[in-house]
Chains A and B, each alone.
Chain A
Amino acid sequence: MKLAYWMYAGPAHIGTLRVASSFKNVHAIMHAPLGDDYFNVMRSMLERERDFTPVTASIVDRHVLARGSQEKVVENIMRKDQQENPDLILLTPTCTSSILQEDLQNFVERATSHTHSEILLADVNHYRVNEFQAADRTLEQIIAFYLEKQTKDEVPSATLRGTLGSSQQKAEVEKKTEQPSANILGIFTLGFHHQHDCREIYRILKDLGIRINSIIPEGSLVTNLKNITKAWFNIVPYREIGLMAAEYLQKQYNMPYIDRTPMGLVETASWIRQICTLVEGNQQEYEKYIDQQTRFVSQAAWFSRSIDCQNLTGKKALVFGDATHAAAMTKILVREMGINVCCAGTYCQQDGDWFREQVQGFCDQVLITEDHTQVGNMIAKIEPAAIFGTQMERHVGKRLDIPCGVISAPIHIQNFPLSYRPFLGYEGTNQIADLVYNSFTLGMEDHLLEIFGGHDVKTVITKNLSTDQDLIWNSSAQTELQKIPGFVRNRIKRNTEKFARSQKIQQITVEVMYAAKEAAEAAT
């Protein structure tokens, strides 16, 4: 048992449902108790979905507990088949059904003979994988199912007709589009800015003369999955979801893939160069394109040279999020803006080694944890000038008066903007530059505040993480504290209190404040 107040990654079935409901005409049936269909609320609210979420529950209640599901699941599958006529019904186990240990595969087999739709049981274990891992696996499972089904369907009929030799058959599967083309794997519902990122990737590929063969799973039909092998290569923009499918396609169908994330100028350039090698493109033209985009289409390169960005040099930042976004963001801040990342971290523990390798040399320390209090304490300890994290870090920032830019899930409704906000590609670099710039106290303002003591000199802010209330500030010390500019006041207050506590001082006077300052300076 674990005492938990908040979690970064959701339970496994959420991942499965996200994949299922991203495909067109796929219906998911959860084997779950009443109230577990909260996914529908999230999709309808956060994504502002216009359509009914194609997820229903086959309710597990007392009767099911006593007698087993018996006909219930099969009936629910058949009913959904008639009502919605989906191409695929995905039976989704939940934490409850995991421990009931009913033979769901048997239900699938029994229902299959009565339905027009295909039926699959999602292969996820609730107690071993999280939302991301489950989504990754489900995507692979669906793709593999349809590709293998096609081979199975074709072999007997072709052998019967005697028209296709096995080598021809193989050639059929491996036939490529005439023009270079790519699949994008891992764009789907409730993803962080996925729709915008997808459009941005599309735009770059179009500029490079590469067609999109298919985008999976968002908006695609499972019946079209058989065409997936016609693409020249696969693109996996996010590490968390799509890699398993890409690896499967490489192994089975010899399709190369790119798992680099085109986030930031340097990474986008490397990503484009990698494409160049895969399509055997003209290297000089690719370089020309990169140069043009970097210097003139994207404003980020120019921004990093401008005197505005100069003021950010050496400022302290903390980065936390999923592996993809946290790694990319760390590199952008350090390499492209000259910011000092004191700590980079991720909650994707399953990908910890990869993350460490990526940010090595870019940050002072690495934090890999699923415990939000640990992240909060780290922020309180190093007091960065800005945080780039999830909604949780935004709230920690609020309490500590540190600005935060949200760069990764988990997210709230405000992170599903209506306007075009990619994080990837060249437009993405612009968006990120704005986000970073707006998160730090603006350059000149910063200076003026320091010189004139700030506009906010009302009262001492008591919102802090420490619950210690045993320290008393005498009135002259309070007045002194109020003279300190608002944006650093809390930090000074905390440092002074830390010092007082270490010296076992009960009452804080102006002298104690100075002594604390001297001690802090001596320490650095």
Chain B
Amino acid sequence: MSTTLKFECETGNYHTFCPISCVSWLYQKISDSFFLVIGTKTCGYFLQNALGVMIFAEPRYAMAELEEGDISAQLHDFDELQRLCLQIKQDRNPSVLVWIGTCTTEIIKMDLEGMAPKIEELIGIPVIVARANGLDYAFTQGEDTVLAAMAHRCPLPEEHQKQSLVLFGSLPNTVAQQLTRELENQGIKVSGWLPETRYEELPPLGPGVFVCGVHPFLSRTATTLMRRRKCQLIGAPFPIGPDGTRAWIEKICQVFNVQPQNLDEREVKIWDSLKQYLTLVKSKSVFFMGDNLLEISLARFLIRCGMIVYEIGIPYMDKRFQASELKLLEKTCHEMNVSMPRIVEKPDNYNQIQRIRALQPDLVITGLAHSNPLEARGITTKWSVEFTFAQIHGFSNARDILELVTRPLRRNNHLKDLGWSKLAT
């Protein structure tokens, strides 16, 4: 049984969502924003299909679709962008415009960062540039690029705002509220979130301000906050699962020199309420194919729940930003007396499927490209993207994670005697 974490790196031939998908949750979170994705039909087609019904609800995002004239520089990109942005201003009047750079703008080297300040001045609306492209990033990292860019727009703290705490990471408002209250119960005031529900309410960030992340995929934002805004980063495990939430609160309390109150009881009570789910998952094995960077935290929680994790696939592993989380994972494995899972960065889906065939895990957490084919071969799957859209943070939402994880297992219990679990070879 291995006692330390092993890290591997494969070919990077894996399936994930394009990082521009972050507009789908960010435009909803930042209610006075407008996201303009500057890319091709391919980007538009992806958004349209991945976001499904949201498209029809008059979303506050659009494509600036590049045509052949734009690629061959027959059209002047500055004039074109100015024209579209003016139109958006007229139709929607947002408080902020976020330009999402894509693979194409990278390749043709469109100087978005250079043009943004000029157009900002011309139209009188702040323009933020985030390069959320598939050349550099995977899925949730899109949010990271947007928040890192947005951090520059936060006001500087005034003297009395020093020693305040700002949390970063986009969460649905109710979940953000829950976490804020959780810390307030310990006597720690959260002075703001990056992002807030309105662009105009961005929190003050600067020297003396403590910052702490709530998502494992925000390493660029963390770096920006430390290096450019001179904030102090609190490196903690992420508040996913009751164990993670507790460790997260403890770490913040420690930084603010606060003795945490009632944390033990709170955690025990949550675990108690999860009993019915825990009996379902106990000793079951899990394989994470990896596509959204939540994998380490989720695996750590599931091991604490009594599951056995064979492999944690992950698109990108920032060992510094995730250091506390990795340490907690190691500790959890020791305490639960299970073997350390292998962590596979930039996985190769083809190889993973060979390993899945050999290991026959009880549950594979994977993208939609593989879930139906695996199910047809009698391998139970859970769609990984649901974890990014569900509410999974804090004490009260631990139930939601297990609701997701056990859903296929409960479905199996209903269908198990019917005799048609394998429908393909």
Contacts and interface: CB of A to CB of B under 8 A. Distances in A.
Interface of A: 1-7, 10-11, 13-14, 32-38, 40-42, 44-45, 48-53, 56-57, 59-62, 65, 76, 83, 94-96, 99-100, 126-128, 130, 392, 395, 398, 412
Given A2-B64, A6-B48, A7-B48, A96 B104 contact: yes
A35 B19 contact: yes
A31 B157 CA distance: 47
B87 A35 contact: no
A5 B55 contact: yes
A61 B71 contact: no
Contact of B350 (A1, A83, A130): A83
A96 B42 CA distance: 9
A34 to B, nearest CB: 4
Given A1-B70, A6-B48, A45-B368, A57 B373 contact: no
11 contacts: A3-B65, A4-B62, A4-B65, A5-B59, A6-B44, A33-B133, A36-B46, A44-B371, A52-B370, A56-B13, A94-B42
Contacts of A60: 103, 135
A265 B293 CA distance: 55
Contacts of A5: 55, 59, 62-63
Given A11-B42, A14-B45, A37-B15, A1 B64 contact: yes
A52 B370 CA distance: 7
A395 B54 CA distance: 11
A62 B136 contact: yes
B418 interface: no
A4 B7 CA distance: 43
Interface of B: 12-13, 15-19, 38, 40-42, 44-46, 48-50, 52, 55-56, 59, 62-68, 70-71, 75, 77, 80-81, 83-84, 87-88, 103-104, 106-108, 133-139, 350, 353, 367-373, 376, 423-424
A127 B39 CA distance: 12
Contacts, number: 157
B135 A33 contact: yes
Contacts of B38: 1
Given A11-B45, A52-B373, A95-B42, A65 B107 contact: yes
Contact of A50 (B41, B136, B373): B373
A6 B41 CA distance: 10
B65 A2 contact: yes
Contacts of B17: 35, 38
B62 A7 contact: no
A475 to B, nearest CB: 30
Nearest to B351: A83
A392 B55 CA distance: 9
Contact of B67 (A50, A61, A127, A392): A127
B40 A37 contact: no
**Secondary structure class of chain B's binding surface, majority of residues:** helix
Q: Quick one: which of B38, B353, B424 has the most chain A CB within 10 A?
A: B424
A96 B64 contact: no
A4 B63 contact: yes
Contact of A36 (B48, B50, B70, B134): B134
Contact of A126 (B40, B367, B371): B40
Contacts of A59: 12-13
Q: Quick one: which of A6, A32, A53 has the most chain B CB within 10 A?
A: A6
A2 B19 contact: no
Given A33-B134, A99-B104, A40 B68 contact: no
A50 B136 CA distance: 31
Given A44-B372, A412-B52, 14 more contacts: A1-B80, A2-B63, A2-B67, A5-B55, A7-B48, A10-B45, A38-B45, A50-B376, A51-B376, A62-B135, A65-B106, A95-B104, A126-B41, A126-B42
A130 B42 CA distance: 10
Nearest to A128: B68
Nearest to A83: B350
Nearest to B375: A50
Contact of B135 (A53, A65, A128): A65
Nearest to B58: A5
Q: Quick one: which of B48, B103, B371 has the most chain A CB within 10 A?
A: B103
Q: Which 10 A-B pairs have the closest CB atoms?
A: A35-B18, A33-B134, A40-B369, A50-B376, A395-B56, A1-B80, A127-B68, A11-B41, A35-B134, A95-B40
B372 A48 contact: yes
A36 B49 CA distance: 12
A348 to B, nearest CB: 15
Contact of B138 (A4, A10, A35): A35
Contacts of A48: 372
A94 B102 CA distance: 14
A127 to B, nearest CB: 4
A57 B135 contact: no
Contacts of B370: 44, 52
B71 A41 contact: no
A3 B86 CA distance: 11
Contact of B16 (A35, A42, A53, A61): A35
A429 B312 CA distance: 52
Contacts of B49: 38, 41-42
Contacts of A83: 350
A60 B139 CA distance: 16
A195 B84 CA distance: 42
A57 B353 CA distance: 16
A130 B40 CA distance: 12
Contact of A3 (B15, B88, B376): B88
Contacts of B65: 1-4
A256 B83 CA distance: 51
B135 A61 contact: yes
Contacts of A42: 49
A7 B424 contact: no
Nearest to B17: A35
